[in-house]
Structure 1
């Protein structure tokens, strides 16, 4: 009898756990085809340039990318790489992009804080001077640093794209607080806010309002600036930022595989030659 009671209790806990998990399970991100997927994939430079523009004109007002330097933009495989400038610090376009941004510094003579044009050696500046300012400007929430967001979130660029296009009105029966926004792709627990019928809806709520809108960014190459296009391009840019040397890694891996195949052939040929007259 005791065993039966324990089994029933365990079953009840398992059902409760399954119910809670179902309530917090977000919608699966849309699966897109990316140029950089697979062992031979490469970043689309035009797409990276558009993605950088989306980040700079929209995302950078709230999100930092503290691990990315302006010079990275001109490195091989980057948005503004130019083979004429193997040293990205010499790339004039990268220099011009950096100079348009003001960064904080200290006057070497007076010791006073100053603002100066950025150089290719500077990292992308934070939009807020400190954590308290970031919380104060965003309803108590700290916008995450986007340097490695593509690696830090399950689904990577697919998740980022889906989140950006996924803002919809909350379903009837879901009560959310002012300043919060429902997104079925965002992980969260909506159980306490759900008063409707049926299952708790997928997704969660986040403080970030929908950041993109049609034609919010004008692309220099004439690409139509829809929300889906902006989302796809900035997702690709963030994937590059999380692994800017991806193309070099793949090239090295391919060269290593070719080397190992040749070495295997030589070793086998040597084996056959050395032991050809020896009875086995």
Structure 2
């Protein structure tokens, strides 16, 4: 009896924390063509800026990015805000807790570029700093990882599919409202739909339907998780070229060294 009661409590807590998750069940993640994919892909600067706006106006109410420094918004390969824009963004949109204020009791103040994004307003909401690297959108088949080899880890695709995967169906379990989602493992998630379309207006008139907003925030979260992706790809390409050149030189040197012996006349 005690074991059954314990099992029931454990199940209720699991449902409240993350939604009903069927054993071995995986959500459906669509492969999506992002600009940063492939060996020559790179981040779209304007898309990252739009994603930052979506995060600021929608996602930051619950989710934090404590591992991302505000000054990195001005780094090359990212949104590339100017120094003035970074300072303006920090002071206008971000508040951080400073323990040194109010006679050591602490208080909130306007953020500086040197500060990191704060934790989210919802203690149960996961931090989004590394979310695109923490989630694998593609698996298998049969545990081989071939899909990841062909399509990549799929973290950005997982986020995109999760945001666009709500079916509109709801249910209540253990006192928690769950929402049906085709991308979430198990099919039900405790997070309400974060975006509905037209949640954010862009100054350049860019499309702001659900699909485009989801694409923008997914790309932005990929950048927060791997901000040096462009540099890594350039370094990798340079390394491959150098190794290819050295291989060719070694091959020619080997041919030259062995030619007199190989073709020696008796």
1:118-166: CA deviation from partner (whole Å, max 9, x where unpaired) = 11111101134xxxxx45xxxxxx1111111111112111111111111
Alignment CA distance shift 1:216-1:42 (3 Å):
same
Report SS of the residue matched to 1:222: coil
Q: Distance in 2 between matches of 1:270 and 1:144?
A: 56
Q: What's the offset of the Cα at 1:178?
A: 4.7
Tell me what 2:88 maps to. Answer: 96
* 2:133 maps to 1:146: no
Report SS of the residue matched to 1:116: strand
Alignment of 1:25-36 (within 5 A): 25-36=25-36
Alignment CA distance shift 1:266-1:81 (3 Å):
farther
Q: Distance in 1 between matches of 2:251 and 2:57?
A: 58
Contact 2:36 / 2:43 at 8 angstroms: preserved in 1? yes
Q: Distance in 2 between matches of 1:99 and 1:187?
A: 39
* 2:104 maps to 1:111: yes
Q: Distance in 2 between matches of 1:113 and 1:166?
A: 41
Tell me what 1:6 maps to. Answer: none
Contact 1:26 / 1:184 at 8 angstroms: preserved in 2? no
Contact 1:105 / 1:114 at 8 angstroms: preserved in 2? yes
Tell me what 2:199 maps to. Answer: 216
Report SS of the residue matched to 2:218: helix
1:97-130: CA deviation from partner (whole Å, max 9, x where unpaired) = 11112211133683231222111111101134xx
Tell me what 1:269 maps to. Answer: 252
1:227-277: CA deviation from partner (whole Å, max 9, x where unpaired) = 111111101111111100000000000000111111112222222223321
TM-score (norm 2): 0.77
* 2:224 maps to 1:241: yes
What is the RMSD of the two structures over their aligned residues, measured on CA atoms? 2.2
TM-score (norm 1): 0.74
Contact 1:64 / 1:125 at 8 angstroms: preserved in 2? yes
Alignment CA distance shift 1:109-1:214 (3 Å):
closer
1:22-42: CA deviation from partner (whole Å, max 9, x where unpaired) = 875243212111100000000
Tell me what 1:167 maps to. Answer: 166
Structure 1 spans left out of the alignment, 5+ residues: 1-20, 83-90, 129-133, 136-141, 189-202
Q: Distance in 2 between matches of 1:28 and 1:179?
A: 22
Q: Distance in 2 between matches of 1:273 and 1:24?
A: 59
Report SS of the residue matched to 2:259: coil
Following TM superposition, where does structure 1 have runs of at least 4 consecutive aligned residues deviating by more than 6 angstroms?
none
Structure 2 spans left out of the alignment, 5+ residues: 1-20, 138-154
Contact 2:29 / 2:158 at 8 angstroms: preserved in 1? yes
Q: Distance in 1 between matches of 2:253 and 2:81?
A: 45
Q: Distance in 2 between matches of 1:225 and 1:117?
A: 29
Q: What's the offset of the Cα at 1:69?
A: 0.8
Count of residue pairs brought into register by the alignment: 224
Contact 2:172 / 2:178 at 8 angstroms: preserved in 1? no
